[in-house]
A and B are shown apart, each in its own frame.
Chain A
Amino acid sequence: MSWAAHELESYFLQKHTKIRVSYLAILLGCLAPDFTKFHVYGLDIGPIHLKAAKHPYEYHRGWPGVGPTHSLMFGVALFVFVLLVFRSKQWALGLLIGQWAHVLTDICDSVGTMVFFPFSTQHYTIGMWAYAAQQGKYGDAAAYYSSLGGVWDFFWLLMVLTGFQVLSAGYFFAHVVPNDPVWGWLRRRFHLRDVTLLAMYRAFFLYGACRIIAWFTWSRLVRHAPLDWSWGGPYWVNKVVLPHEPWATFAWNTTRSLVLFPLSLYLLWVLFGRRLWNRGQELPALL
């Protein structure tokens, strides 16, 4: 799984999406598939004790499990739900774009995602780094930031920094705020000043960047985990690799999905998507 990449790609997507779309929705979409992640490592907060899943990869990426949150169809479901309930085009599109980005980003680890669920439970992966959630939060962090996973996070940090205008006050007030009435609501409801609104917009960039540097440094100086930037590394972790499907099965699953997924999108659009879209609103900024 990717770590800080999910926070950082939201800024990149916001900058390169040429249609009116909510930044907050893109961010939420980028994070949404991992909202069920607490069961991957377990949770201990005061009286709350939640045991970690016995096989985190099955729970987090598989079926049965919450693996469907890492499929393109889950993004479509979010899109339809938001259009149906809130009628906001900017939020529906933002969630769709962010969630799809998450699904495609996570194919980089050794478990990958069920991109075309429910048409197939085939996992798509390029095996760039080891999936090691079963090692617990600290073991996973050490493995991730000792492998190409960490490099992947640094790559996204660089992508945002090369388009640093997206983080400027001018960009925020001229492009981000007008596309989303939530900023105006936050300002009025909580009497927020410009400095606070801007800090909130940049928060996930700061957090993402600091998270990369902190975990990378911790892995080197505290954990003393050896770096391994070979494909599929690090060599020293017991990574999860799914059994290889025969090529014929893979080809059949993929072909079937490539036909059924667009067909289902078309049918959804014709049956009620278009009607929902047309009655949706491009809500004005209230700032």
Chain B
Amino acid sequence: MDDQGDRYREGRPELVAYVLAVLTLIGLGILLTTIVLNWIVGPTLAVVLVVAYTSLCRRVMGRR
């Protein structure tokens, strides 16, 4: 189990990605309210944003 816990490590790119995702979700939430803030779009968008930003941040910060 501990091996599984150690297999995925998070660093600065992941942290930045989550911060960006949170800021985007809050911004879109205030502007679009129910279009974003519902049980289907909200969590789906959270996943999409985190994955996209993580990939972007790793590339920009030079980590694969």
Chain A residues packing against B (C-beta within 8 Å): 31, 137-138, 141, 169-171, 173-175, 177-178, 194-196, 198-200, 202-204, 206-207, 209-211, 213-215, 217-218, 221-222, 287
Contact = CB atoms under 8 A, between A and B. Distances in A.
A175 B51 CA distance: 22
Interface of B is mostly: helix
A287 B4 contact: yes
B10 to A, nearest CB: 6
Nearest to A193: B51
Contact of B5 (A170, A195, A203, A215): A170
Interface residues of B, number: 32
A196 B7 CA distance: 14
Contacts of A195: 8, 14, 50-51, 54
B4 A206 contact: no
A177 B51 CA distance: 19
A57 B39 CA distance: 21
B60 interface: no
Contact of B7 (A141, A194, A215): A194
Contacts of A209: 22
